[in-house]
Amino acid sequence: MSALAFGPGGVLFVGDGKGGAVFALDLGDAASRVVAEPKVVVDVEGKLAALLGATPADVMVHDMAVNPLSKNVYLSVSRGRAAWSDRWLLPNDVADASVLVRIDAEGRLSAVDLRRLRFARVALPNPVDPAKAHGWKEGITLRADTITDLVYAEGTLFIAGLSNEEFAATLWRVAYPFEGPVAATTLESYHGAHGKYETDAPIRTFVPFPLRGRMHVLAAYLCTPLVTFPLADLQDQRQLRGRTVAEFGSGNYPLDMVVYEKQGARKLLIANSHLPLMIVDPKDVESHEGEITSEVPGYLAGVGFEPRSAGAVQQLDNYGDDHVLALERITRSPSE
């Protein structure tokens, strides 16, 4: 279970990167619920370990999604963290998440029995070959990046990752309910920290967002460019070059991205592996006229951001209209 995202009617989309497919799961969790004050759940890894018969040092969360109807939280989990050997490894590099865990609005954890669920499945055309080795992660194949993120919007499921094309970075699109062909557009983007256009770096996290009256994909990549792609320009079996509007810093994975609204203004919130939380104003993206097409000294250029210090925020999702839910690793002293 490489990536999770919710769709209409409480359907959970599960990206199976190793299998090169996406599943739509009927969780039987479609009752609408309003939660005015979400609970803080502490020691999530400890609770997961107790549920799965493991130790906290073994369990690893691969992705998180909030059911917008019931407000139940779902985690894809593995017992593989003991195999983590390098700071550049991501959960899907290390292990396969095979357990789906629900955290209800009261903070109680339970494992979802996947054998009892109704589901639909769609295969991705031409996912990256499992035999292709990663360029700089020793012992890792590119198959771990077949599916890096999922987003459902306006009847379409968008799937980011790597295909087996010469330009491997790909954005697939399929209508839901699953019907008709899966469209695939290969992507090219300029990475200011690397000083070059890249075609084999997958989108790490993205959101659809309107800019100047047209829907765009706002995508963040490793080391950390922010790139826009007009949705209308995504064509099947074509290659599309994005517009790099910002460079936010090198040596960093953008881990998750959400759009939230506060005091009538919509903002973009990005969680990162080695940089602070970032708040980006979409109006700044919309008004930005430039484009990064040359190497960026100091790794900062283009649209700016507001940094927010925090612990290691690993996952984000909207929790109703008034809250953003964060999965955060916090180091506390023994007395706390």
Over 90: is that where the pLDDT of 333 sits? no
> Side chain identity at 77, as an amino acid letter?
V
Over 50: is that where the pLDDT of 246 sits? yes
Based on its alpha-carbon atoms, the radius of gyration of the chain, rounded to whole angstroms, reads 19
Over 80: is that where the pLDDT of 336 sits? no
The predicted structure's pLDDT at residue 335? 41
Nearest one of 329, 155, 164 to 255, comparing CA atoms? 329
What the chain holds in terms of domains, given with CATH numbers, is 3-329 (2.120.10)
CA–CA dist 249, 256 (Å, integer): 16
- For 27-51, b/e burial (b = at least 16 CB within 10 A) is bebeeeeeeeebeeeeebbebbbee
Report the half-sphere exposure of 193 (CA within 13 A, side-chain side). 16
The predicted structure's pLDDT at residue 145? 98
Average pLDDT of span 89-94:
96
Band of residue 332 on the pLDDT scale cut at 50, 70, 90: low
When comparing pLDDT for 191 and 87, which is higher?
Answer: 191
DSSP letter at 7?
A: -
Neighbours of 9 (CB within 10 A): 10
Average pLDDT of span 71-94:
94
Over 80: is that where the pLDDT of 19 sits? yes
CA–CA dist 223, 282 (Å, integer): 20
Instruction: Give yes or no for a contact between 171 and 125, defined as CB atoms under 8 angstroms apart.
Output: no
CA–CA dist 146, 248 (Å, integer): 25
The predicted structure's pLDDT at residue 82? 87
Average pLDDT of span 243-261:
97
Average pLDDT of span 159-173:
97
The predicted structure's pLDDT at residue 309? 76
What digits encode the pLDDT tens for the residues 258-287? 999 999 999 999 999 999 999 999 999 999
Contacts of 36 (CB under 8 A, 6+ apart): none
Average of per-residue pLDDT values in the chain: 95
Over 60: is that where the pLDDT of 215 sits? yes
pLDDT above 70 covers a percentage of the chain that reads 98
Average pLDDT of span 145-167:
97
Q: Are strands 238-241 and 179-191 parallel, antiparallel or unpaired?
A: parallel
The predicted structure's pLDDT at residue 331? 67
Residue 82 CA: distances (Å) to CA of 48, 53, 58, 97, 294: 15, 15, 5, 14, 40
Band of residue 310 on the pLDDT scale cut at 50, 70, 90: low
